[in-house]
Amino acid sequence: MLKACGYCGRIHKPGERCTRAPPRKSGGAYRDDPQIRAFRDSAEWQNKRNAIKERDRWLCLACLHRAARTLRQYNSRRLSVHHIVPLHIAWDLRMDDDNLITLCDTHHTMADAGGFSAEVLRSWATETARSD
């Protein structure tokens, strides 16, 4: 069964990548770091990740602020928690609320590629935390 592309609405040939699709994440060496893998599997991180999603009201904050590639403002689909300053750069900030933000897959990919400045991401996260 053929399905319409979620980015442009067209039907693509098998194996064809949509030009509107966000760039794929690179498999950077730091993602294979055993310490980082162990941290991501830990109960401590699972609990913190859920607390951040709760703080951000289970919404992508980039979509909420109508950043580029926003399809719906109140997006609660395919969420993950992004480290504003990456783990391989600032291990000490791995559990810091000010370094964590909830993003959808599209905006997480953009953030990993440098599509948002750390200041913008941090301001979205702190704005949401203050509004409680």
Of the chain, the percentage scoring pLDDT greater than 70 comes to: 90
Name the DSSP class of 79.
E
83 contacts 93 by C-beta, under 8 angstroms? yes
In whole angstroms, give the CA distance from residue 115 to residue 94: 21
Q: Which amino acid would we find at residue 104? A: C
Looking at residue 119, its pLDDT comes to 95
Looking at residue 83, its pLDDT comes to 96
Looking at residue 1, its pLDDT comes to 63
Neighbours of 63 (CB within 10 A): 23
Looking at residue 47, its pLDDT comes to 97
One pLDDT digit (tens) per residue for the chain, 132 residues: 677 787 788 888 887 888 877 766 554 545 678 899 899 999 999 999 999 999 999 999 999 999 988 888 999 999 999 999 999 899 999 999 999 999 999 999 999 989 999 999 999 998 877 776
Looking at residue 7, its pLDDT comes to 75
Looking at residue 15, its pLDDT comes to 78
Looking at residue 127, its pLDDT comes to 87
Looking at residue 10, its pLDDT comes to 85
Terminus-to-terminus CA distance in the chain, angstroms?
Answer: 45
What's the pTM? Answer: 0.75
SS3 content of the chain, % helix, strand, coil (to 5): 40, 10, 50
